[in-house]
Structure 1
Amino acid sequence: MTACSLNSPFLSSGKFRYLGNSCWINHSFSNPIRSLTYRFYLGSPRFSSAIRAEAAMEGQQIESVNIGVNPSMKLLFVEMGVGYDQHGQDITAAAMRACRDAISSNSIPAFRRGSIPGVSSDQMKLQIKLGVPQPLQQFLDIERVKSVFPYGKIVNFDIVDGGLICSSGVLVEEMGDKNDDCYVVNAAVYVGY
């Protein structure tokens, strides 16, 4: 059994619970709303010094979704973006903005100039991963989101729980608002060949 130990005055009064290769700590503040649960993943023997911590409010459990890169793709880089829809409550618009944000500040001359021997822009592959609030995933128009990408073959399109629904602070009926919700989507675009 692996022992969990932390040298942190902030966490030293927490309660520990061992679960396989992870250690759970429940740290209670004087205010129960600020009670936190931390999960520490103990690294494999090869990476024993690597510890990743995730924090969640007590009562919630955050699990990493590890959707790897398509094995048929040689990954070159990952672009990330965030998209919002403040008026109109259109989750597809937020997702399209997230994808545009991810790709808009990049130029990929390697595919057009032949910098990668034997590889052209016709062989570019994309894997799209979107973090979308779970209750809105059913309303996402994937084909409209795919239309954001000017070239490259999309080999995977993954939607995971993520993003955010928050208040924009105002309801503007002239802009199509049904309420004051603002939708936020996160995007990761994996580019390879």
Structure 2
Amino acid sequence: MRKYFITGLLVLVPLAITLWVLNLVISTMDQSLLLVPERWQPHTLFGREIPGLGTILTIAIVFLTGLLANNLVGNYLVRLWERLLHRIPVVSSLYGSVKQVSDTLFSSSGNAFRKAVLLPYPHAECWTIGFLTGVPGGDVKNHLVGDFVSVYVPTTPNPTSGFFLMMERSKVIELDMSVDAALKYIVSMGVVAPEHLPTKE
């Protein structure tokens, strides 16, 4: 009975977690229906709520925003809107910081989280996986002697928190491993190992 129970857990737990995450994402995105006037709400038109309709609306808004921002008029309007936001004292610093981080993370030309690395942390005899995020900048690089890189070390099993380190490039080993495979390895606490690759000479 213990064997069958564990087998059932192995089948149902991943499915239950997947459904829970999907339900959380869809219910969150359904909040975009609040932007629609009351007379166009699903419960007004059809007499009941329609799950997932807000998700479709959110995806359509994001797609149309990207489509408009890529043409000449839309690009001008985006720059005009950003100049307006930069004139508001508190909003200016907040929006500027968030936009800089999002541009770095989501831009196709950016280098953030493009390479998984192996590094000694938290001491020389212990190793962990991190991600290259760039090189030190500003006044920081004036105080670092040598060739340094910026590395983000995520925690396990929650990779959204972690540590930002600046290390000598010679102490960081670039891995022949995709970022997705490295994240799975970290989140699973080493249980889901990446595919074995032939040893380099």
- TM-score relative to the length of structure 2: 0.23
Greater gyration radius: 2
Structure with more relative contact order (C-alpha pairs < 8 Å, separation 6 or more): 1
- TM-score relative to the length of structure 1: 0.24
Greater helix share, structure number:
2
Greater strand share, structure number:
1
